[in-house]
A = this chain, B = another copy of it.
Amino acid sequence: MRKGRVTIPTDENFVEGTKEIAELWGADAVRDCDGTHLPKNALEIAEKVYNTYFVVRGDNAWADQHTDELQSVLLTTDYILATEESLAVDLMKGYSCDQLAVNEENPKKYWQVFDRTTGEEIFSWEYVGDGQVRVDGTIPYHEYSVNFFAVNLWDSTQMYNYITNGWNIEKHKVMEPRYEATFAHIKENMRKWCAENKNVNVVRYTTFLYHFFLVFNEKNKEKHVDWFGYLMTASPRAFDAFEKEYGYAIKAEDIISQGTYQSNFINPTKPFLDYMEFTEKYVTKTVRELVDVIHAEGKEAMMFLGDSWIGTEPYGDYFKDMQLDAVVGSVGGGVTVRMLSEIPHVKYREGRFLPYFFPDTFFEGNEENAIAELNKNWVTARRAMMRKPLDRMGFGGYLSLAAKFPKFIERAGQVCDEFRLICDAAGTAKPYSSLTVAVLNAWGKKRSWMCHMVAHELWYQQVYSYQGVYEALSGLGVDVRFISFEDVKAGIDKDIDVIINVGDEGTAFSGGEYWKDEKIVTTLRKWVAEGHGFIGVGDPTAYQKGGRCFVLADVLGVDKEKGFTLSEDKYNIEKKEHFITAEVCGEIDYGEGKKNVYALENTEVLDIVFSDRFKRNVNVGEVMLAANDYAKGRGVYIAGLPYSPQNARLLLRAMYWSCHKEEVMQRVFSSNVFTDCSYYPESGKYAVINNANEVQSTTFYNVNGEKKELTLQAGEIVWLQD
């Protein structure tokens, strides 16, 4: 039995049980959870004791005495139709009065009114009090909206839990640390807390200063949720500080951006990037003061990647300055593992696994389902851990509930052992890879593994066909990085073999207006022509221009018919066999796919869908998959790629084909698509994993291409030595 790397929840009423399970699982850390309290002598149970800590929320005594020092949130109204020459706008219409109230500070300075029919800002308006704006000189049948600040009366996460679980507890107000007195108080709170919590050596921040954008509507239902949204960092104080620091005034519209709130899907503008940087610098500097306090007490600082994480940007330039010891986050699939496990500048990264030990799973008779949930979560995440493991794993909830399920306890213990084995084998060096792929979008490194997310880990019909690309990459035996269009302009890194561009037209992920930039276009064309690979998924390189929709149609070998070239005959509709599709069984799943994509003349069509209504053999057929030679390089088009074992293999083959490395694909390779293989040169170990819930046979290839037949049990991991 081995020990370490595992965190379990505990409770003051379950000390002996905690010790037993800690022993069984080799846990070296305990934590508190919602509704539990750490035992007084927690440090006798485990080496590490985590305690949650809220920096800005829940100090209602202070908040009530300093009602002018609460946080704000930047909002906009609906578009409202004028039918006369003046218009009354009710700012709070559609917003929760429990959560928000109009921030009446100097409206003429901070708010804006726009004519959304012309796009022009309007200045003939007045705040008449009581949440009402009167706009004069409106043009009948134009629409108007008002950008304004609201006061944040209720922490978004607490409100969410309150509504979801029907809690009835005191509502946490949220303090704005930009006020000197409030920040002094926050810091003093931190000091006091340290003094009072000698039994804790890890402060688990949940989280720091500003919540991601989450507001509720007039029925207290979720109205807007963006895990990346900066709206709750914005305030009159922040705007004033920005102007002082950057020498120009940021406008509400720079963040509202026509009601899109500059989401992760919108190409960031210069003012918005400045504002992000401004916020990152402020959050970093402020949190650092708290971290210094706890470091002085000999405690570690751990950040929960969620809730009030905005402004930390773990892949940004300022994150390192907080001097955090650790990050922790919930683990959904491989993407969330990599998002956590690659965060730089911390000593360790921890993942919280499923199931959560709550009564909704841990009720009598449900033990098998609890085990199944554990296995599924583990196997999904493990693919990614083989490439870059987390440093620690953990569970949450009420340990006493889990303790009633002995088979679950046993299985979780095995998972903990397997996790430690992986960490040891993987070591500190990167696993073997013969290919480096870069995902190209407007965010690049700053939002590594954070692409195509809206609300954290929720499913959206518009994104799952793209998320599959990242999920596949998270566990494939290739090196992955994220690059921006600016990186391309600065010169593509020498070691990159393949670039992937994924997303819908006009979004930050496919790139939108970046494709107007001839430097980007020519750099990529030249780079591909010189022998590299370019893979596009969805609407890659899309920007209607020069008669084309896909700017790199010549590289990809396909373009999208938007009705402008219907009169051109399109004859390239015959499906060809190909290296990329050599292992496909049955239909390929393109998710939402794409409509109206057609192949250029010399492209190889690998998959094409014909309407069952078609009556004529030309001008029909929608290309789903295509491959194209482009001088010494190659382009590949895929209409969509939801995650599945077969699709992950398809992407792997597309990558190796596109950069002419087909011959090295079968090194450190396992033939069965339900398996993955990694090799750790440092330890000389190979790991072959079975991601399926059934026995699988596979041919394993070592680093020299030598084969060996293997049979793996459901979910099994097989280790081989060099």
Contacts and interface: CB of A to CB of B under 8 A. Distances in A.
Interface string A30-59: 000000000000000000000000000000
A461 B260 contact: no
Contacts of A79: 546-548, 554
B260 A565 contact: yes
Contacts of A263: 564-567
Nearest to A568: B224
A119 interface: yes
Interface stretch (A136-144, A171-179, A296-304): A136-144
Main secondary structure of the interface of A (DSSP, over half): loop
B522 A117 contact: yes
Contacts of A561: 462
Given A224-B568, A568-B224, A525 B139 contact: no
B260 A544 contact: no
B506 A544 contact: yes
26 contacts: A79-B554, A81-B525, A117-B522, A118-B518, A119-B546, A142-B518, A143-B546, A217-B569, A221-B569, A221-B571, A223-B569, A224-B569, A226-B567, A266-B564, A455-B567, A459-B614, A461-B611, A461-B613, A462-B566, A463-B563, A464-B613, A505-B562, A506-B544, A506-B562, A506-B564, A507-B564
Interface residues of A, number: 79
- Ranked nearest first, the 4 interchain pairs of A and B with the lowest CB-CB distance are A258-B547, A226-B567, A141-B522, A141-B525
A537 to B, nearest CB: 14
Interface in A110-125: 116-119
A222 B567 contact: no
A612 to B, nearest CB: 11
A442 to B, nearest CB: 12
Contacts of A464: 613
B521 A117 contact: yes
Contacts of A258: 546-547
B526 A460 contact: no
Interface stretch (A479-487, A615-623, A645-653, A706-714): A615-623
Interface string A176-217: 000000000000000000000000000000000000010001
Interface in A434-467: 454-455, 458-464
A562 B260 CA distance: 11
A222 B567 CA distance: 10
Interface of A: 79, 81, 83, 116-119, 139-143, 213, 217, 221-226, 229, 257-261, 263, 265-266, 454-455, 458-464, 503-507, 518, 521-523, 525-526, 529, 544-548, 554, 561-569, 571, 592, 595-596, 611, 613-616, 618-620, 622, 631
A236 B88 CA distance: 61
Given A142-B518, A611-B461, A265 B620 contact: no
Contacts of A554: 79, 81, 143
B615 A567 contact: no
A225 B567 contact: yes
A223 B568 contact: yes
A101 B567 CA distance: 21
B221 A564 contact: no
A507 B221 CA distance: 39
B141 A259 contact: no
B526 A563 contact: no
Contact of A224 (B546, B548, B567, B622): B567
Contacts of A223: 568-569
A385 to B, nearest CB: 24
Contacts of A562: 504-507
A140 B460 CA distance: 41
A56 to B, nearest CB: 23
